[in-house]
Amino acid sequence: MATPIAGSRPALPVKGLMTADRRRRALEVCGMHPDHQEALKKNRVMLAKQLLLSELLEHLLEKDIITLEMREHIQAKVGSFSQNVELLNLLPKRGPQAFDAFCEALHS
């Protein structure tokens, strides 16, 4: 049997983790909470019609929710509705803080 290296931690057995625990850990790292995704989905058409994108994008850029390249990609779409849809498609993939930053930007 191999001797563990001093100061190293044993690896967690992936098979031993429960499915819900694995999903929660993955969500903490990269995804938006399912409730927040659902709120965006339920309000998608209204948001796509009414968002004022320029200030919103600057706020999300400041909070490191989107990158400069993402902003340029969104702004390259023709028409405000298409731009808003592109942002709404992107937000759920931008991490657990994305929804709160989005809501904060809407209030300011």
pLDDT given at position 89: 97
pLDDT at 21: 52
Residue 22: band (very low, low, confident or very high) from pLDDT cuts 50, 70, 90: low
| Range 72-100 average pLDDT | 97
43-72 in b/e form (b: 16+ CB < 10 A) is eeeebbeebebeebbebbeebebbeeebbe
**pTM for this entry:** 0.72
Are 73 and 86 spatial neighbours (Cβ–Cβ below 8 Å)? Answer: yes
End-to-end Cα distance, the chain = 60
Q: How confident is the model at residue 31 (pLDDT cuts 50, 70, 90)?
A: confident
Give the residue extent of every domain in the chain.
34-107
Tens of pLDDT, residue by residue over 34-72, are: 999 999 999 999 999 999 999 999 999 999 999 999 999
Grouping H, G, I as helix, E, B as strand and the rest as coil, residue 73 is helix
**Ramachandran area for residue 13 (φ above 0: left; ψ -120 to 50: alpha; else beta):** beta
Please check the confidence at residue 81 and state whether its pLDDT lies above 60. yes
In this prediction, residue 99 carries a pLDDT of 97
Specify whether the CB–CB gap between 66 and 94 falls below 8 A.
Answer: yes
| pLDDT at residue number 29 | 52
CATH architecture assigned to 34-107: Orthogonal Bundle (1.10)
